[in-house]
Structure 1
């Protein structure tokens, strides 16, 4: 053997990055590299490991909630509930400076709690809210930034699928993760809205007020719109999250309640049929299969990587830097930020985070706190060029005259807001840890 086992582990990681850049399917690349290097060094025993890892992933109770939450989100999306929600919030927020942008962010935050699917939220709001803001005379950049930033909130705000995957990967309670992410999620959404309102007050030309006829709507009309669109969805979301956070149901049980509630809501709005149900099931199955096989591939790859000693090489390198807890957090967050350019959040969570997780104990870092930091950081990975998924989602549905450079320019202030939110979380960890500690003990 020309290379030592730790060197083979590092070579395996490098080859994965090369194949990733060449466009190979990620899950099957992970499995192929894991089995290939495992067979070369461990012999036939690698096949037993592959079967065991596959079974352990498929039998993971935490992951059952993923297809149920995805189904809930796709049903809400296909039933056009988002359209009703946006119009009702638009009526209620008409008196605010930048009211359309505020309504867009509020709709994104609520829809994020129902789906957590970034591409779906950005695309739908790009078709619904973005043209409405442009017609109202909004600056293209601020309108684009609002849609992209708001659409990414589902990564952080519960019931985030990302937090479920992190919980399964790190072996921590998803319930505590949801409680920890709740306040930072609201804080980030509130900061986005405050920024838009302040910009509109300083320079009204960026976000002009709606015509008087659209602002001076009878209070009865506003209340009826909120009662028939805003209130039902909020009630469903509150019931799902409340059951989880208060310990009345497991995430999987609450997700099942949410899926059933979404179906009832869609039927009640009389905007759901068998075709839309079939589409929702198909999209759920496709996304769930992708996540599941990615998890299997990551489990095999990580196991072989550790067997070869690659994990030990990474740990020794980080330890040799003689970092404190803050230095370690900054290093990991910079690496995650850079990885967010070429990779989706699922790959970052299941492939690269397991490299850092064993070091959390050494540096005395709470894995719940670390998970919320990662979720905040991944907001930037969806927004920051050159490989920013949210701007490209929006560009795909935006009018032809809107350039990708304008969209990138529009998201920059929101990236700054995310960085400020991360700095606040570093300085005051209680923002994330107070609620889970209060509900479940320290």
Structure 2
């Protein structure tokens, strides 16, 4: 019977490769296999009896309410030209230095990641705003594409990341499942706030490594990252009469209010997301970008993303039940136990599989399909849930950068000038892939990089 679980997983991946909608691919394939299994008496239909309770739990989950609110916040900030003002102000401050535009892009991308939490939006926004300017000023295509794409993926790891919100909910369920499997009944759980706190130090290390790489390029290959000319800076000043203080303080205040209230236990992620959404509206009004057309566009985008997330979650829940009904969970547990190296060997295999799946699946699908299968087993083997969540997030972030199928590469290719070759985008991201692999190795060797801040905040 267990071979049916493997066949189910393979068939789902094949159906997704054919381009069918994710939610319906998961649910449809699972139902077909459940029907075949029931027909031949190898599937216990009682597993599907848990589906109504599970679906009710999904739609009433207070944590998941944060998703549409964070999406609304991110899209509203994108419409309010916060990124454009920040980039212009940073360019004036950093532009006279070699690689100054690259460092400015990194810092603005970090702030956008902490404001929007949406990878695609950050890559596209920075690609439209920064890439033409960098190329015009003499920056190399490879460096420009690499720094923009890599910085755009920071939304995957820097809180308040939507990926971490979804991971937090799934890991919470996995943690409870692992405890039940071990016969432990404990009120302790994994919260989204734990993951946000765990992501702060790795996220800052990653930003620091990106900036350090830009400095090395400026030293070793200064011709690839020239300083802006005085007339370029004066042109920016005349075109946009905005100071660094005016451009920087409003988004920083919003980030501090949203993220700080979560980290210090003042508000739940859902409450903080509501405040963030309201704050984004205030910023749009401040930037004179709040109007009916923009509000309509933001609400439509929020509705589409939210509907997609919840439909995928419903389909993934059905897939998970059928996978367990075929004994898939026991099969995975046996495979992990047979691997050499214990937890380290199992983590290595899971990281490689998720990295490869990141070529064909978005983080939402991987979070809802793969994580519920492997996380309970890894937690039973002794993995720290916060460390596991951040390792998964950084791993998927690396996967989204890796040629030839990285999602972030496709986002940039869609907005980059036709003069920029796809091969230049691919070559440009290679140093940043190496940087992210270094971060993964550091977190694997020193888990305290992830667990120290949550332990200090919530001890």
Give TM class, smaller chain: over 0.9
Structure 1 residues 255-264 or 192-201, which shifts more?
A: 192-201
1:234 aligns with 2:252: yes
Q: Measured at CA, do residues 320 and 44 of structure 1 come closer, stay the same or move farther in structure 2, by a change above 3 Å?
A: closer
Q: Counterpart of 2:84?
A: 83
Q: 2:439 aligns with which of 401, 404, 421?
A: 421
Equivalent in the alignment of 1:280: 298
Partner of 2:458: 440
Post-superposition offset of 1:222: 11
RMSD (Å) for aligned C-alpha atoms: 2.0
Residue number among 258, 271, 274 corresponding to 2:289 in the alignment = 271
Q: 1:332 aligns with which of 337, 346, 350?
A: 350
Distance in structure 2 (CA, Å) of the matches to 1:218 and 1:11: 58
Residue 323 of structure 1 and its aligned partner are, at CA, apart by 2.7
1:153 aligns with 2:154: yes
- 8 Å contact kept, 2:97–2:228: no
Aligned match of 1:320: 338
Matched, 1:132 2:128: no
Is 1:188 matched with 2:184?
Answer: no
Structure 2 runs not aligned, ≥5 long: 173-189
Whether the aligned pair in 2 keeps the contact of 1:31 and 1:298 (CA below 8 Å) is yes
CA distance in 2: counterparts of 1:59 and 1:45, whole angstroms: 23
- Ranges of 4+ aligned residues in structure 1 off by more than 6 Å: 216-219
Per-residue deviation, 1:238: 0.8
Cα distance in 2 for residues equivalent to 1:258 and 1:242: 11
- 1:152-203 CA-to-partner distances (Å, cap 9, x unmatched) read 0000000011111111111121001000001111110111111012111221
Q: Partner residue of 1:166? A: 167
- Deviation readout 1:180-234 (Å, 9 max, x if unpaired): 0011111101111110121112211010011134568999x99961222111001
- The Cα offsets for residues 35-83 of structure 1, whole Å up to 9 and x where unpaired, read as 3333443577566433222211111111000000000000000111111
Aligned match of 1:305: 323
Deviation for aligned residue 1:363: 2.5
Moved more, 28-37 or 403-412: 28-37
Gaps of 5+ in 1: none
Partner of 1:13: 9
The farther-off stretch of 198-207 and 252-261 is 198-207
- Please tell me whether the aligned partners of residues 65 and 251 of structure 1 are also in contact (alpha carbons under 8 angstroms): yes
CA pair 311-47 structure 1, distance change in 2 beyond 3 A = closer
5 Å-filtered alignment, 1:249-260, equals 249-260=267-278
Report if the CA contact (8 A) 2:195-2:390 is conserved.
yes
Corresponding residue to 1:248 among 266, 269, 272: 266
Report the Cα offset of residue 400 of structure 1: 0.8
Quick check: 2:47–2:325 contact (8 Å CA) kept in 1? no
Aligned to 1:53: 54
Please name the residue that 2:117 is paired with: 116
Distance, in Å, in 2 between the alignment partners of 1:185 and 1:217 is: 34
Query: What does residue 66 of structure 1 align with?
Result: 67
Cα pair distance change 1:354/1:46, threshold 3 Å? closer
TM-score (norm 1): 0.94
Residue in structure 2 matching 1:295, options 301, 313, 321: 313
Structure 1 residues 351 and 218: alpha-carbon distance in aligned structure 2, compared to 1, 3 A threshold: closer
SS of the equivalent of 1:73 reads helix
The total of aligned residue pairs comes to 436
CA distance in 2, matches of 1:438, 1:96: 38
Per-residue CA deviations over 1:287-346 (Å, capped at 9, x if unaligned) read: 011111111111111112112201111211121123322222221111111111111111
Check the 8 A contact 1:92/1:222 in 2, yes or no.
no
